[in-house]
């Protein structure tokens, strides 16, 4: 039996740049920043007072009673999944629910619910703790709500691999379709932890930018002045579909998900391998899995979070595993770092780059690091033919995920 | 407090917690079958009712409160 091709037939997102995919992509190609000051009272005491907050609040899209029982990460996963589902035109397609699966992960999960309910516990006692607390904070909550909304009965999965989550969730979807466990997988990532505790935790690791006075310039991958990532929130979801299934119903196809590579460093709990060994293997595996010539993979949406060490290790890994020809983008320069949603949102950007033949800009790359030896579309989008492209996502814990997308 | 006042107090809670239209709330209505209040929302309704009416509704009583009228009678007897 030959391995089935898998294509992308639907996209959905809610991000710091826009409440849907179209507005997000337009802002990205235009090089707009979604980073702004945190004006909340609690931010005043923090070393980091900037973040990339959602452009459209979930309350503008979902009704009040529904939101009472959804963690913010669950609410935005639902928003993105419903968009992707509608975009794919599967609603009345007669798809067998037992052939529909969900793979939606989160890096951190329902932390803000946990913290808010702990405040209630401390202030008012256990009887006041919401009965919705557990389904709101459980890490499989976003996937479960999406599965419930769409009636998915082929399995609901929640990958957790920190900042690689969104990409790994998509890789799992690819595996599920290839192995015949589903015809359609709604896959992606979600994150919503703009709250003083996670920010304080990341800040204590010295992982975050403290460029509080210039929010829009704070996320600056590969620039000499980079000083850490900027926390973002949002969700990205793609509809993966067996190519023959999509063709049979005449579906619009954005791109083919050609291959994936997943490795683990076994090196350090938070530091990437000092020679990018795990990243190199992940990229090489993805290229081999995709069975596409390296010269055709002309664009990379890099993980590039704007941290001093990680940004350059990825450049070295790309040189070794792919070559010196790709044109890079670090879209986190505009969106901030959406943690568990990053790999999903950046997959969407990679897919649209292929569709439109445009490498989105990397903003704030004013003074490139001298070790940046690959071509980057700095400041302005670059129009070019993109037969295939790579998306990287790496996470605390030593997770490395690479995905190859190609023109269908 | 009259039965009508308790009913309208419950209607406010049901709207807040479960999005129930206050016009649908009447003594004969079942929480689960007529008003679509699921088990987790019922817990929220009970806690909110305790606060609003200054009563205690133990968990073993909640299962006996099938209809709005059952709840009104219980609250009326306790307050």
Using one digit for the tens of pLDDT, what is the confidence trace for A378-403? Answer: 999 999 999 999 999 999 999 999 99
Domain count, chain B: 1
Measured between alpha carbons, how far is residue A50 from residues A60, A216, A232 in Å? 23, 9, 9
Which of A62, A63, A64, A65 is the best substitution to test chain B (most B C-beta atoms within 10 A)? A65
- Of A8, A27, A5, A9, the C-alpha closest to A361 is A27
Terminal CA-to-CA distance of chain B, rounded, Å? 8
Which residues of chain B have a pLDDT value below 70?
none
Give pLDDT tens digits for A35-88: 999 999 999 999 999 999 999 999 999 999 999 999 999 999 999 999 999 999
Q: How far apart are CA A271 and CA A113, in angstroms?
A: 29
Please check whether residue A407 is in contact with residue A180, taking contact to mean a CB–CB distance below 8 angstroms.
no
Q: What is the pLDDT of residue A1?
A: 60
Helix, strand, coil % in chain A, rounded to nearest 5: 40, 20, 40
**Set of chain A residues whose Cβ sits within 8 Å of the Cβ of B19:** 63-65
Query: Using CB atoms, which residue from A63, A65, A132 is nearest to B40?
Result: A132
Residue A274 scores a pLDDT above 70? yes
Give pLDDT tens digits for A84-125: 999 999 998 999 999 999 999 999 999 999 999 999 999 999
**Set of chain B residues whose Cβ sits within 8 Å of the Cβ of A132:** 40, 44
Domains and CATH numbers, chain A: 6-249 (3.40.47.10), 259-406 (3.40.47.10)
Cβ neighbours around A264 below 10 Å, total: 16
The alpha carbon dihedral of A59, A60, A63, A64 has a sign of positive
- Cβ of B43 within 8 Å of Cβ of A131? The answer is yes
- Of A197, A193, A181, the C-alpha closest to A119 is A197
ipTM confidence score: 0.90
- Cβ of A69 within 8 Å of Cβ of B40? The answer is yes
Half-sphere exposure of A360 (CA within 13 A, CB side): 32
Q: Is A127 on the interface with B (CB under 8 A)?
A: yes
Please check whether residue A220 is in contact with residue A306, taking contact to mean a CB–CB distance below 8 angstroms.
yes
Q: How many helices (H) and strands (E) does chain B have?
A: 4, 0
Supply φ then ψ for residue A155, to 5 degrees.
Answer: 120, 140
Any idea what the CATH number is for the domain that residue B49 is in? 1.10.1200.10
Region of residue A28 (left: phi > 0; alpha: psi -120 to 50; beta: else): alpha
- Cβ of B40 within 8 Å of Cβ of A63? The answer is no
Cβ neighbours around A149 below 10 Å, total: 15
Q: What is the pLDDT of residue A228?
A: 98
- Of A143, A169, A400, A154, the C-alpha closest to A263 is A400
Tell me which residues of chain B have a C-beta less than 8 Å from any C-beta of chain A: 17-19, 40-41, 43-44, 47
Supply φ then ψ for residue A302, to 5 degrees.
Answer: -80, 160
Give pLDDT tens digits for A127-145: 999 999 999 999 999 999 9
The model's pTM is 0.97
Q: How far apart are CA A301 and CA A389, in angstroms?
A: 8
Measured between alpha carbons, how far is residue A49 from residues A17, A37, A121, B52 in Å? 19, 6, 28, 39
Q: What is the pLDDT of residue A2?
A: 81
Length in residues, chain A: 408
Selecting among A163, A207, A218, A238, the annotated active-site residue is A163
- Of all residues in chain A, the percent with pLDDT exceeding 90 is 99
Instruction: Please indicate whether residue A163 is annotated as part of the active site.
Output: yes
Give pLDDT tens digits for A339-352: 999 999 999 999 99
Give pLDDT tens digits for A191-227: 999 999 999 999 999 999 999 999 999 999 999 999 9
What's the token pair of residue A382? 């670059």
Q: What domain range is B12 assigned to?
A: 1-76
Q: What is the pLDDT of residue B79?
A: 82
Question: ∠ at Cα A27 (A313, A53), nearest 5°?
Answer: 75
Q: How far apart are CA A271 and CA A136, in angstroms?
A: 30
Q: How far apart are CA A141 and CA A137, in angstroms?
A: 7
Using a 10 angstrom Cβ sphere, with 0-12 exposed, 13-18 middle and 19 or more buried, the burial of residue A169 is: buried
Q: CB under 8 Å to A11, separation ≥6 — which residues?
A: A21, A83, A84, A87, A237, A238, A239, A254, A348, A351, A352
Q: What is the pLDDT of residue A376?
A: 98
């Amino acid at each position: 039996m030959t391995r089935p091709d898998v294509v992308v037939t639907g996209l959905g997102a809610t991000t710091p740049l826009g409440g849907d995919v179209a507005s997000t992509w337009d802002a990205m190609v235009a090089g707009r920043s979604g980073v702004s000051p945190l004006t909340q009272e609690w931010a005043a005491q923090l070393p980091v007072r900037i973040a990339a907050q959602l452009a459209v609040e979930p309350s503008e899209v979902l009704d009040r009673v529904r939101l009472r029982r959804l963690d913010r990460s669950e609410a935005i996963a639902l928003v993105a999944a419903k968009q992707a589902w509608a975009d794919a035109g599967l609603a009345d397609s007669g798809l067998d629910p037992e052939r529909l699966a969900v793979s939606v992960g989160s890096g951190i999960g329902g932390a803000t619910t946990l913290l808010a309910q702990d405040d209630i516990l401390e202030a008012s006692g256990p009887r006041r703790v919401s009965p919705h607390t557990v389904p709101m904070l459980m890490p499989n909550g976003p996937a479960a709500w999406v599965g419930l909304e769409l009636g998915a009965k082929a399995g609901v999965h929640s990958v957790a691999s920190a900042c690689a989550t969104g990409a790994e969730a998509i890789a799992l979807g690819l595996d599920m379709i290839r192995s015949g466990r589903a015809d359609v997988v709604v896959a992606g990532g979600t994150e919503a932890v703009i709250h003083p505790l996670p920010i304080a935790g990341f800040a204590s690791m010295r992982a975050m930018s403290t460029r509080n006075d210039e929010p829009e310039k704070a996320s600056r991958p590969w620039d000499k002045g980079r000083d850490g990532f900027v926390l973002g929130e949002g969700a990205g979801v793609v509809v993966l579909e067996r190519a023959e299934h999509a063709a049979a119903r005449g579906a619009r196809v954005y791109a083919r998900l050609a291959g994936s590579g997943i490795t683990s460093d076994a090196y350090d709990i938070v530091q990437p391998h000092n020679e990018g060994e795990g990243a190199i293997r992940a990229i090489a595996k993805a290229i081999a899995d995709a069975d596409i010539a390296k010269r055709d993979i002309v664009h990379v949406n890099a993980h590039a979070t704007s941290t001093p060490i990680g940004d350059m290790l990825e450049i070295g890994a790309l040189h070794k595993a792919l070559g010196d020809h790709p044109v890079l983008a670090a879209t986190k320069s505009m969106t901030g770092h959406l943690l568990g949603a990053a790999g999903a949102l950046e997959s969407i950007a990679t897919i649209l780059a292929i569709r439109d033949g445009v490498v989105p800009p990397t903003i704030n790359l004013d003074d490139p690091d001298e070790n940046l030896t690959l071509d980057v579309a700095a400041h302005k989008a670059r129009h070019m033919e993109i037969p295939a492209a790579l998306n990287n996502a790496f996470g605390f814990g030593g997770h490395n995920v690479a995905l190859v997308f190609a023109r269908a | 407090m009259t039965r009508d006042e308790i009913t309208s107090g419950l209607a406010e809670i049901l709207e807040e917690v479960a999005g129930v239209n206050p016009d649908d709330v009447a003594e004969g209505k079942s929480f689960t079958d007529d008003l679509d209040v699921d088990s987790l929302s019922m817990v929220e309704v009970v806690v909110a009712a305790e606060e609003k009416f200054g009563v205690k509704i133990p968990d073993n009583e909640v299962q006996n409160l099938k209809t709005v009228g059952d709840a009104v009678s219980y609250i009326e007897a306790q307050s």
